[in-house]
Homo-oligomer: A and B are copies of this chain.
Amino acid sequence: MHQTHDIQILPAPVIRLIEELNRLPGVGPKTASRLTFFLLRAPDDLPLALAHALTALKQQVQLCSRCYFITQGDLCAICANPARDQRVICVVEEPLDVVAIERTGVYRGLYHVLHGRIAPLEGMNREDIYFDELLDRVRAEPVEEVIIATNPNLEGEATAFHLQRALAPLGVRVTRLARGLPTGGDLEWADPGTLGSALEGRREM
């Protein structure tokens, strides 16, 4: 990744930071180098504040003991909020999905973060994600509906299928996010799968 000249003339800490930044997704050698030289020029507080924030992330953030969203305490802000509807659990793959759904402002129930999806080809099976923990919650909590909000792709659908099969015997209502045309989208540009889902899921006006 680095040419010989760089290694000969750049101080070791500079090369190390370029290499560490290069490990981040979407950060190639050029961007890593640009960021490093920016940080060299920046006032001391910027790289040090970033270093502290990185250290604090791993030391202070853990998973909620109930829903596996991220939290500083035992329960996350959503589980700890008694105003949330305790009868609905929305199942998502990753913590960022919770943020996305919260942004809509239309959901007032709880969450369950799987931290992955079932993808046998990648070695991800039911026991590698928080799958059985969801079943335990449905048995123990006053849950009436589980909304499956895994991603609308192959692995997400497979995960939804396994969840539905496992939840059915527990006597809870299982729903899935609607498929259809994206708001603001253009029918002409919709892919056949999306358009097909929109037709199948058509509703009375």
Which chain A residues have a beta carbon within 8 Å of chain B's beta carbons? 3, 5-6, 8-14, 16-17, 20-21, 23-26, 31, 33-41, 44, 46-58, 60-61, 69-72, 76-78, 94-96, 98-99, 102-103, 105, 115
Contact = CB atoms under 8 A, between A and B. Distances in A.
A106 to B, nearest CB: 11
A46 B23 contact: yes
A40 B95 contact: yes
Contact of A58 (B16, B23, B47, B60): B47
A13 B72 contact: yes
In the complex, the 3 A-B pairs of residues with the closest C-beta atoms, listed nearest first: A51-B54, A51-B51, A17-B53
A12 B70 CA distance: 11
B76 A9 contact: yes
Contacts of A72: 11-13
Nearest to A38: B25
Nearest to A46: B23
Contact of A6 (B12, B69, B102): B102
Contact of A37 (B9, B40, B49, B96): B96
Contacts of A39: 24, 54, 57
A15 to B, nearest CB: 10
A6 B78 CA distance: 11
Nearest to A9: B77
Contact of A9 (B6, B13, B47, B78): B78
Contacts of A41: 94, 115
A54 B60 contact: no
A59 to B, nearest CB: 8
A8 B98 CA distance: 12
A95 B48 CA distance: 21
B48 A11 contact: no
Given A13-B60, A53-B16, A55-B51, A26 B34 contact: yes
B25 A61 contact: no
Nearest to A11: B72
